[in-house]
Structure 1
Amino acid sequence: MKDFPVRSPATKLGGLVHFGRMLDKIRLQARGELPADYQPNLGRGFDAKCCAFLHLDYAEVVKRVNEGANDDAMVEWAFTSGRRPSDDEITMWNEFMRKFGWRDHA
């Protein structure tokens, strides 16, 4: 899937890895362009971890994105409706996500 129009999970949005990728997948799903392999895991896995970290409900994230909120608006909404992590918490999140691998689940 070389032309998959989704950010790398390492690309930061609002200082956070994965957040922008999650938004991209939501937008593709809304347009009917998300590959079938990705659909069963929407809102699960790293998406769920990201929402839990920010104290957000995934369904509410989807609603806001589908209402047309751009990336900057989504970051601000997440940090005000959920929580705004400290710089240290963001560093810990980013390193956790960067190093998370297949051996981390039994």
Structure 2
Amino acid sequence: MPHVPGLRSPYVKVGRLVYFGRMLDKIRLQAAGQLPLGDYGANLGKGFDGRACSFLRVAYDDLKARMLAGDLDDAALLAWCHERGGPRTDEECEVWNGFMIKRGWRDAAAEVLAKRIEESGLGAAPVFTMFDYLDYDEGRASAADRPWEKS
């Protein structure tokens, strides 16, 4: 997939959650006509987006509409999700983050990850999870080094 300016790594947290900010970025970029729909369109609101909304107990279309209203920042959008779907405990967030960060490593998604690695020519890269794959495939700095966590 191409590098998309403004699309953050799935590892970056909003509040206590990984991936949430990336989902918001995809919504914003799609609305602005800056998200390559050939690469991302089929999975909008599905896949990890769908899992995130399910975890938060909000409908993707409701979150999208609320976000596009434009009056809330990412943290406030997450708070809105907690108001609508109920708050998550620290333990629930820890389990969510652990599951998402490790997705593709020795689990049901491992076969899909292996296929994507091969199709993208990333066999030599240290890609162990879907998050790693997204970072390498989108041309971000080495996922293994996690430079965004060092700021």
Band of TM-score, shorter chain: over 0.9
Structure 1 position 83, deviation (Å): 1.9
Task: Report the equivalent of 2:74.
Answer: 71
Percent identical residues? 46
| TM value normalised by structure 1 | 0.92
More helix by share: 1
Task: Please name the residue that 2:8 is paired with.
Answer: 7
When residues 14 and 43 of structure 1 are mapped into structure 2, their CA distance, relative to the original with a 3 A threshold, is: same
Aligned counterpart, 2:136: none
SS at match of 1:85: coil
TM-score by length of 2: 0.66
Number of the residue aligned with 1:53: 55
Give the AA of the match of 1:34: L
Q: Cα distance, 1:72 vs. partner?
A: 2.0
| Structure 1 spans left out of the alignment, 5+ residues | none
Which whole-Å CA distance do the structure 2 matches of 1:92 and 1:20 have between them? 18
Letter in 2 for 1:84: P
Q: Distance in 1 between matches of 2:42 and 2:3?
A: 20
Q: Quick check: which has more Rg, 1 or 2?
A: 2
How many pairs are equivalent? 106
The 5 Å alignment of 1:16-35 reads 16-35=17-36
Secondary structure at 2:97 match in 1? helix
Match of 2:14, SS?
Answer: coil
Please, which of 87, 91, 97 is the counterpart of residue 94 of structure 2? 91
In structure 2, list runs of 5 or more residues that go unmatched. Answer: 112-151
Moved over 3 A (4+): none
